[in-house]
Amino acid sequence: MRVVCPGSFDPVTNGHMDIITRSAALFDEVIVAVLINEAKTGLFTVEERMALLREATADYPNVKVESFRGLLVDFCRARDARVVVKGIRAVSDFDYELQMAQMNHGLTGVETLFMPTNPLYSFLSSSLVKEVARWGGDVSAHVPGPVAARMAELFQQCQG
């Protein structure tokens, strides 16, 4: 079975990687779908996010990284993926994600599976990681190695 793990992944965190890794162990193929959102300026370009994700998932032969714009259900339909896997950190995540899941199912019948996050990552968000890194904090325990290195390089350039 082919599933999709969507997100902005700006940047990919160890919490994202936990969901991707667990999905890769459960399903035949996992497509990590990086959202292209022209309305937002990210820390990393879509191409950089995809490259970092490919590096982080290199040990998982059943994981592919692609980008998409528009409706997630259209992306899923084009790839014959009937299931979306979403990580849930807290009740607040569930409230929003449930609405999205119900809309997606109503539009095309795509199912959403909610995977509770590992408690080690329940506080972790890309926004928080960016904020800590922006102020010189060490985020290496919260993101894959290549991401930590790239963030340190990026924020060092900004401060220098």
CA distance linking residue 130 with residue 16, whole number of Å: 15
- Phi, psi at 146, each rounded to 5°: -60, -30
Residue 146 and residue 160: Cα distance in Å, rounded? 21
- Element counts in the chain: helices (H) and strands (E): 6, 5
The residues assigned a catalytic role are: 16, 40, 89, 126
Produce one character per residue of 115-137: b if its CB has 16 or more CB atoms within 10 Å, e if not: eebbeebeebebeebbeebeeee
CB atoms within 10 A of CB 86: 20
Q: 48 phi and psi, to 5 degrees?
A: -65, -45
N- to C-terminal Cα separation, the chain: 48
